[in-house]
Amino acid sequence: QSALTQPASMSASPGQSITISCTGTSSDVGTYNLVSWYQHHPGKAPKLIIYEVSNRPSGVSNRFSGSKSGNTASLTISGLQAEDEADYHCCSYAGSINYVVFGGGTKLTVL
Amino acid sequence: QVQLVESGGGVVRPGGSLRLSCAASGFTFSSYAMHWVRQAPGKGLEWVAVMSYHGIHKYYADSVEGRLAISRDNSKNTVYLEVNRLIPEDTAVYYCARDSLGGDPKWFWFDLWGQGTPVTVFS
């Protein structure tokens, strides 16, 4: 069982927006503004799309945005496109003992 | 081209060992801590090990402590993960990933990943 809780799967139509939640605890998501999100197309290298809760690396589409409230972080993808169909993993720094925790991943289907 | 390429995975019997490699290119490898993260079938990602940029400090997840050994050769731009006394629960795709910022491990985020190498523990 993963330390962070994500929905196992979500689906939406092209052009719609979708929000993926990632729930942790006060020991990780709730304490540190160090939540990151990764897009993973099976068989490819995972790709960092959000870091420090809401920052986008250079080259990542502004259709991806992140936020956090309490122990729950969220990834919103707007204007869904077929290429957004992938697995999305959240991650949080968890301090000097547990270091880092991941979510179980969310499989996004673009219908 | 900035990239990480893993190799060395395979099918191994329980109790066996494997040495995974991750070759880096396109960036100053010796400036970054390097991690290994794995994903078991149907499960989420799991961080397992990291080595500091100079190879002095290494840290492991409790779940694998004592059975994994991380090392690196900065002259070859390569980080290694030796997995010993393999058990079925070690079956996973193993990814190497670059630490977010240069220097010692920070675990803040992972800004570069490889495509992974699969390990199957099968009797």
**A63-99 per-position pLDDT tens digit:** 999 999 999 999 999 999 999 999 999 999 999 888 9
Over the stretch B27-75, which tens digit does the pLDDT of each residue have? 999 999 999 999 999 999 999 999 999 999 999 999 887 899 999 999 9
| Pair of tokens at residue A97 | 């003992």
In angstroms, the CA B50 to CA B104 distance is 10
The mean per-residue pLDDT over the stretch B100-109 comes to: 88
CB of A57 within 8 Å of any CB in chain B?
A: yes
Q: Quick check: A105 pLDDT over 90?
A: yes
Q: What is the pLDDT of residue B115?
A: 98
What angle is formed at CA A101 by the lines to CA A100 and CA A106, rounded to 5 degrees? 140
SS3 A36: strand
Q: Which residue of B has its CA nearest to A4?
A: B44
CB of A68 within 8 Å of any CB in chain B?
A: no
Q: What is the pLDDT of residue A98?
A: 85
Amino acid at A33: N
Strands, DSSP E only, in A1-110?
A: 9-12, 18-23, 35-40, 47-50, 64-69, 72-77, 86-94, 99-102, 106-110
Mean pLDDT of chain B: 95
Strands, DSSP E only, in chain B?
A: 3-7, 10-12, 18-25, 32-39, 45-51, 58-60, 68-73, 78-83, 92-102, 110-113, 117-121
Q: What is the pLDDT of residue B102?
A: 84
Strand partners, B106: none
The mean per-residue pLDDT over the stretch B93-109 comes to: 92
CB of B60 within 8 Å of any CB in chain A?
A: no
